[in-house]
Amino acid sequence: MENTSRRRFLQTAGTGAAALALSARSSPAAANERIVVGLIGPGGMGTNHLKGLLARKNVEVAYVCEPDQKRLAAAAKLVETKSKKTPRAVKDMRQVYDDRQVDAVFIATPDHWHAPAAILALDAGKNVYVEKPMTHNIREGRLLADAVKRSGKLLQVGTQSRSTACVQEAMQRIREGEIGDILVAKSWNSQLRRSIGKTKPGKPPDYLDYDLWIGPAPMVAYRSNMLPGIWRWWRDFGAGDIGNDGVHDIDVTVWGLGVTTHPTRVTCLGGKYFFDDDQQWPDTQYAIYEYPVEGKPAIRKQLIFEQRIWSPYVQEGYENGAAFYGTEGMLIIGHSNGWKLYGKRNKLIAERTGGADLAAHHQNFFDCVRGDKKQLNADVTAGHLSASLCHLANISARVGRVLHFDPSTEQILNDPEAAPMVRRKYRDGHWAVPKGV
DSSP characters over 385-400: HHHHHHHHHHHHHHHT
CB neighbours of residue 86 within 10 Å: 11
Nearest partner of 78 among 91, 67, 68, 89, judged by Cα: 89
Per-residue confidence at 436, pLDDT binned at 50, 70, 90?
A: confident
Average pLDDT (1-7) is 46
Can you tell me the distance from the alpha carbon of 166 to that of 307, in angstroms, rounded to the nearest whole number?
Answer: 24
State how far the alpha carbon of 286 is from the alpha carbons of 196, 267, 270, 377, in Å. Answer: 22, 8, 6, 28
Question: Range with the lowest mean pLDDT among 22-36, 156-170, 251-265, 370-384?
Answer: 22-36
- Across 173-177, 295-299, 352-356, the highest mean pLDDT is recorded for 173-177
Sequence-ordered list of residues with C-beta below 8 angstroms from that of 409, at least 6 positions apart, any chain = none
Question: Range with the lowest mean pLDDT among 289-293, 317-321, 382-386?
Answer: 317-321
The pLDDT > 70 percentage for the chain reads 93
Q: What is the pLDDT of residues 391-434, one digit of tens each?
A: 999 999 999 999 999 999 999 999 999 999 999 999 999 999 99
Can you tell me the distance from the alpha carbon of 161 to that of 159, in angstroms, rounded to the nearest whole number?
Answer: 6
CB neighbours of residue 357 within 10 Å: 19
Question: Range with the lowest mean pLDDT among 15-29, 120-134, 330-344, 413-427?
Answer: 15-29
Q: Is the pLDDT of residue 4 over 70?
A: no
- Strand 59-65: give its sheet, edge to edge: 88-90, 59-65, 35-40, 104-107, 127-130, 155-157
Q: Is the pLDDT of residue 369 over 50?
A: yes
State how far the alpha carbon of 224 is from the alpha carbons of 108, 198, 200, 213, 387, in Å. Answer: 21, 9, 8, 14, 27
DSSP string of 270-294, one letter each residue: EE-SS--SS--S-SEEEEEEEEEET
CB-CB contact of 377 with 156 (8 Å) = yes
Can you tell me the distance from the alpha carbon of 94 to that of 194, in angstroms, rounded to the nearest whole number?
Answer: 35
Which residue did the predictor score with more confidence, 32 or 359?
Answer: 359
Q: Is the pLDDT of residue 388 over 70?
A: yes
What amino acid occupies position 398?
A: R
Task: Categorise residue 278: left if φ over 0, alpha if ψ from -120 to 50, beta otherwise.
Answer: alpha
| pLDDT at res. 29 | 52
Per-residue confidence at 22, pLDDT binned at 50, 70, 90?
A: very low
Per-residue confidence at 270, pLDDT binned at 50, 70, 90?
A: very high
Per-residue confidence at 294, pLDDT binned at 50, 70, 90?
A: confident
**Mean predicted lDDT score pLDDT of the chain:** 93
| pLDDT at res. 33 | 86
Can you tell me the distance from the alpha carbon of 120 to that of 147, in angstroms, rounded to the nearest whole number?
Answer: 9
Distance of CA 202 to the CA centre of its chain: 31
| pLDDT at res. 315 | 80
Q: What is the pLDDT of residues 133-187, one digit of tens each?
A: 999 999 999 999 999 999 999 999 999 999 999 999 999 999 999 999 999 999 9
Per-residue confidence at 32, pLDDT binned at 50, 70, 90?
A: low
Cite the DSSP H helix spans in 98-175. 111-123, 138-151, 165-175
Return the DSSP state at 32: T
Can you tell me the distance from the alpha carbon of 393 to that of 266, in angstroms, rounded to the nearest whole number?
Answer: 7
Q: What is the pLDDT of residues 89-113, one digit of tens each?
A: 999 999 999 999 999 999 999 999 9
Q: Is the pLDDT of residue 41 over 70?
A: yes
Per-residue confidence at 15, pLDDT binned at 50, 70, 90?
A: very low
| pLDDT at res. 27 | 53
Our CA dihedral for 253, 258, 263, 267, rounded to 10 degrees, sits at -30
CA atoms within 13 A on the CB side of 94: 4
Q: Is the pLDDT of residue 17 over 80?
A: no
| pLDDT at res. 30 | 57
Sequence-ordered list of residues with C-beta below 8 angstroms from that of 411, at least 6 positions apart, any chain = 405, 419, 422
Sequence-ordered list of residues with C-beta below 8 angstroms from that of 298, at least 6 positions apart, any chain = none
CB-CB contact of 63 with 87 (8 Å) = yes
Q: Is the pLDDT of residue 279 over 70?
A: yes
CB-CB contact of 154 with 22 (8 Å) = no
